[in-house]
C-alpha cells in the first residue's frame, strides 16, 4: 500500500525473531509531523510507552518511528530503559534527526533483555521506499495477516493505517501497535483533541482475550504535504481506517476462525452501549458457542447482564445473523437454520436494550482450540 506524500518506510532482519523474518522497521516523514499518541494503561508498561508519553509532552514534531518485533523490552529494568533510548539514538543518527523526534516501539516476549547490538548492526541495511508493506510485515508477531487500511479525502490527501496484534488484545488502551499517517495538514492541537475519541470507537472496542498488552500504542501523524483539508471529512476518514483495522485485528485474533461483531442499540448512553457490546464480544462462553455454531443466545444475555450497564431483560431484543431469538421473552426459532447461518466468516449479534438512544459496536473473534495451542507454547 502506497504511503501518503512525504512518508517512506522500510524494514530488515535484525535476528530478534527466532524465525529469521524481518523484525526491525522504520517509518519516516521528510518533514516534522503533527501527532497524537495513546498508550497502554497497563501499569507494567514498557519503556517505549513511557518514552512516547514524554516525547508527546515535550511537544516536538514527530518525524520517525523505529519498531522492533520479537522482544517487548518490558520488565527489563534499567537496562531496558537504556536500550530503548539507545534504539532511538541509533535510528536518529542514521536518519540525521534529533532523537526527540523519533518514537520507539517494541513488541514480542516480555522480560528478556533487548539485544541492542543486533539493532545497531541491522539498521544501516534498511532501505526506505514508498510502500508501507515491508514496515507492516516486520512488526508482526503472531499475526497471520498484515493489517492495512486507507482512505482518500476529496482534496486528494490520504490516510494510511497499519496495525499489528493478535493476542494480549483487550480494551481500555490502544491495541498493540497502530500507526495512522496522513499527508493532510492538521494541527497538533486538532489531532490530540480528536484522537482519543476515534481510538475509543475503534481499537478500544476490540477484544481477543481480555489481556491488556504492556506495549500498546496507537499513533496518528500528519505531515501536511497534501495541504489543508476539511476537518470533519478528515476525522471520518481516520475513523473509517481505524474501524477497518480494528475489524482486521479481531478477525486475526489468535486461533480465530471468524470475526464476531456485536452491535448494541437502545442503551442509556453510547458509553454503556460500547461497554455492553464489548462484554458480549469478550465472553469466553459466547465466543466458544460462535466457534461451535451454537445459537445459545442465553450466553449473550448473561454477558449483557455482567457488563455493568443498565439492563432490564424484559426489554431486551437479541438478533443473531438477522434471526430474532429473544424479544423480552423466548422466541420460537429454527435452531438448525440459526446454526447454519452462523457458519460464516462474520457472525453478527444485535442487541437492543430498549432503554435509550445509546449505540456502540465491538469486534472480537471465536475462541478455538487454536488459541490455546498458540499460547501454551510461545516462549519455549
Contacts of 274 (CB under 8 A, 6+ apart): 200, 201, 205, 264, 360, 361, 362
- Ligand-binding annotation for 254, yes or no, is yes
DSSP, res 88: H
Smallest distance, its own copies to C-beta of residue 65, A = 23
Within 90-119, the residues that bind its own copies by CB under 8 A are: 109-113
Among residues 306, 334, 344, 357, the one that binds its own copies under rule CB under 8 A: 306
Smallest distance, its own copies to C-beta of residue 199, A = 17
d(CA 5, CA 144): 29
Strands 217-222, 317-320: pairing is unpaired
DSSP, res 330: B
Report if residue 372 touches its own copies, rule: CB under 8 A.
yes
d(CA 259, CA 196): 24
Within 219-248, the residues that bind its own copies by CB under 8 A are: none
d(CA 303, CA 281): 9
Neighbours of 267 (CB within 10 A): 28
Smallest distance, its own copies to C-beta of residue 261, A = 19
Report if residue 72 touches its own copies, rule: CB under 8 A.
yes
Neighbours of 328 (CB within 10 A): 12
40 catalytic? Reply is no
CB nearer to its own copies: pick between 96 and 379? 379
**Catalytic residue of the set 175, 207, 265, 368:** 175
Name the 3-class secondary structure at 221. Answer: strand
- Ligand-binding annotation for 175, yes or no, is yes
- Ligand-binding annotation for 207, yes or no, is no
Smallest distance, its own copies to C-beta of residue 210, A = 6
Place of cell 487500511: 149
- In the stretch 150-169, what mask flags binding to its own copies with x, by CB under 8 A? -----------------xx-
Smallest distance, its own copies to C-beta of residue 328, A = 7
d(CA 100, CA 343): 50
Report if residue 379 touches its own copies, rule: CB under 8 A.
yes
Among residues 2, 30, 50, 77, the one that binds its own copies under rule CB under 8 A: 77
Among the candidate windows 29-37, 95-103, 190-198, 280-288, which touches its own copies by CB under 8 A?
Answer: 280-288
Q: 351: closest CA among 286, 273, 264?
A: 264
Within 194-223, the residues that bind its own copies by CB under 8 A are: 209-214
φ, ψ at 205 (rounded to 5°): -100, 15
Among residues 117, 328, 337, 340, the one that binds its own copies under rule CB under 8 A: 328
- Ligand-binding annotation for 375, yes or no, is yes
d(CA 99, CA 90): 8
| Catalytic residue IDs | 175
Which residues line the annotated binding site for substrate? 141, 164, 175, 254, 375, 380
Amino acid at each position: 500500500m502506497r504511503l501518503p506524500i512525504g512518508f517512506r518506510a522500510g524494514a530488515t532482519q535484525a535476528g530478534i525473531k527466532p524465525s529469521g523474518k524481518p523484525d526491525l522497521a522504520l517509518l519516516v516523514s521528510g518533514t516534522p509531523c503533527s501527532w497524537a499518541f495513546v498508550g497502554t494503561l497497563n501499569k507494567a508498561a514498557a519503556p517505549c510507552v513511557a518514552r512516547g508519553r514524554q516525547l508527546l509532552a515535550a511537544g516536538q514534531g514527530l518525524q520517525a518511528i523505529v519498531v522492533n518485533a520479537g522482544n517487548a523490552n518490558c520488565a527489563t529494568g534499567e537496562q531496558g530503559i537504556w536500550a530503548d533510548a539507545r534504539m532511538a539514538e541509533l535510528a536518529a543518527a542514521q536518519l540525521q534527526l534529533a532523537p526527540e523526534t523519533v518514537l520507539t516501539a517494541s513488541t514480542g516476549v516480555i522480560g528478556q533483555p533487548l539485544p541492542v547490538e543486533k539493532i545497531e548492526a541491522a539498521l544501516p541495511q534498511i532501505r526506505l521506499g514508498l510502500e508501507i508493506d515491508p514496515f507492516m510485515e516486520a512488526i508482526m508477531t503472531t499475526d497471520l495477516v498484515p493489517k492495512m487500511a486507507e482512505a482518500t479525502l476529496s482534496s486528494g490527501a490520504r490516510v494510511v493505517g497499519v496495525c499489528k496484534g493478535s493476542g494480549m488484545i483487550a480494551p481500555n488502551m490502544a491495541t498493540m501497535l497502530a500507526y495512522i499517517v496522513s499527508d493532510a495538514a492538521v494541527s497538533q492541537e486538532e489531532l490530540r483533541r480528536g484522537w482519543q475519541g476515534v481510538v475509543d470507537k475503534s481499537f478500544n472496542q476490540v477484544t481477543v482475550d481480555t489481556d491488556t498488552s504492556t506495549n500498546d500504542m496507537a499513533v496518528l501523524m500528519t505531515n501536511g504535504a497534501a495541504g489543508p483539508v476539511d476537518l470533519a471529512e478528515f476525522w471520518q476518514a481516520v475513523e473509517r481506517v481505524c474501524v477497518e483495522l480494528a475489524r482486521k485485528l479481531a478477525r486475526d485474533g489468535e486461533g480465530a476462525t471468524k470475526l464476531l461483531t456485536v452491535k448494541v442499540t437502545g442503551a442509556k448512553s453510547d458509553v454503556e452501549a460500547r461497554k455492553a457490546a464489548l462484554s458480549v464480544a469478550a465472553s469466553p462462553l459466547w465466543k466458544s458457542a460462535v466457534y461451535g455454531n451454537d445459537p445459545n443466545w442465553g450466553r449473550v444475555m448473561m454477558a449483557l447482564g455482567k457488563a455493568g450497564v443498565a439492563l432490564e431483560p424484559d426489554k431486551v431484543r437479541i438478533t443473531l445473523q438477522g434471526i430474532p431469538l429473544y424479544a423480552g421473552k423466548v422466541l420460537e426459532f429454527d435452531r438448525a437454520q440459526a446454526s447454519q447461518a452462523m457458519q460464516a466468516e462474520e457472525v453478527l449479534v444485535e442487541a437492543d436494550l430498549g432503554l435509550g438512544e445509546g449505540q456502540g459496536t465491538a469486534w472480537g473473534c471465536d475462541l478455538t482450540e487454536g488459541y490455546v495451542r498458540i499460547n501454551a507454547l510461545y516462549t519455549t
